[in-house]
Amino acid sequence: MPSSSDDVWQVLSTARSIRRFTDEPVDDATLERCLQAATWAPNGANAQLWRFVVLDAPEQRAAVAQAARIALRSIESIYGMSRPDDSDQSRAARNNRATYELHDRAGEYTSVLFTAFKNDFSSEFLQGGSIYPAVQNFYLAARAQGLGACLTSWASYEGGQTIRESVGIPDEWFLAGHIVVGWPRGRHGPVRRRPLTDVVFRNRWNTEHADITFGRGARPRG
């Protein structure tokens, strides 16, 4: 297995988003281990109000590709992105090329949609605490096995309805997350993150370090 690891600290510190993949398909056994890890996540009252949908058939991949095109328009606007010139070899240009490649080839990849049931006693935001740990477990299990993974926004924006209709998901289930998986063309990590002094406060709010910008290390989701 390429770049696989059983060291939890290595997995956590090198699980960066992978946006370029080889043409080798993800085998069922490897994907199932990721899905099994997702089911081990903590969730409210152990109700397990989640369902995970593997998207790998032609119709569903086509829907994912359409959702990716829709999302890209918003991403370009939000982040001021455009396709870089071939001559531009800066880090930003290399990163943007990977993002565009992910969207351009979205219909070629296997991906997983994470859904959660809308209950009557809490908001979707609050219910996120019972589905996003499953998303993270899946993501880390993928990294541990040497897979590449990228959490995308394709099930958001208007593209979410395209995916919902393609899969046949009832309205009482909300689309909580979407991950593309594949064998990476490149390497994992290390991740680039702000230092703890920027993001951890003790007892009192730190206004100086609370300012939000799209600065160091900020990258759009797929």
Read off the pLDDT of residues 153-168 as tens digits, 9 standing for 90 and up: 999 999 999 999 999 9
Between 217 and 152, where is the model more confident?
Answer: 152
Is residue 220 assigned to a domain?
A: no
Looking at the DSSP assignment, which residues form a beta bridge with residue 53? Answer: 113
- Confidence class for position 208, pLDDT limits 50, 70, 90: confident
pLDDT exceeds cutoff 60 at 218: no
The per-residue pLDDT for range 169-180, each reduced to its tens digit, is 999 999 999 999
pLDDT at position 217 is: 44
The per-residue pLDDT for range 47-64, each reduced to its tens digit, is 999 999 999 999 999 999
- Alpha carbon 29 to chain centroid distance? 21
The per-residue pLDDT for range 51-105, each reduced to its tens digit, is 999 999 999 999 999 999 999 999 999 989 999 999 999 999 999 999 999 999 9
Is residue 102 assigned to a domain?
A: yes
Return the ∠ at Cα 73 (arms to 169 and 139), rounded to 5°: 55
155, 175 Cβ separation under 8 angstroms: yes
Q: Edge-to-edge strand order for the sheet containing 110-117?
A: 50-55, 110-117, 173-182, 148-152
CATH code for position 130: 3.40.109.10
Count of domains observed in the chain: 1
Burial (CB < 10 A; 0-12, 13-18, 19+), residue 27, is exposed
Is residue 215 assigned to a domain?
A: no
d(CA 160, CA 123): 19
Q: Pick from 146, 138, 140, 144: which is nearest to 3 by CA?
A: 146
Amino acid at 174: F
Looking at the DSSP assignment, which residues form a beta bridge with residue 116? Answer: 50, 174
Percent of the chain past pLDDT 90, that is, above it, reads: 82
Cα dihedral value 3, 134, 152, 65, nearest 10: 100
Is residue 182 assigned to a domain?
A: yes
Q: Supply the range of the domain harboring residue 186.
A: 8-210
pLDDT at position 93 is: 94
Looking at the DSSP assignment, which residues form a beta bridge with residue 55? Answer: 111
Is residue 62 assigned to a domain?
A: yes
Looking at the DSSP assignment, which residues form a beta bridge with residue 179? Answer: 112, 151
| Helix segments in 40-158, DSSP class H | 58-79, 91-104, 124-127, 132-144
Residue 71, CB half-sphere, CA atoms under 13 Å: how many? Answer: 27
Is residue 2 assigned to a domain?
A: no
Is residue 218 assigned to a domain?
A: no
Is residue 1 assigned to a domain?
A: no
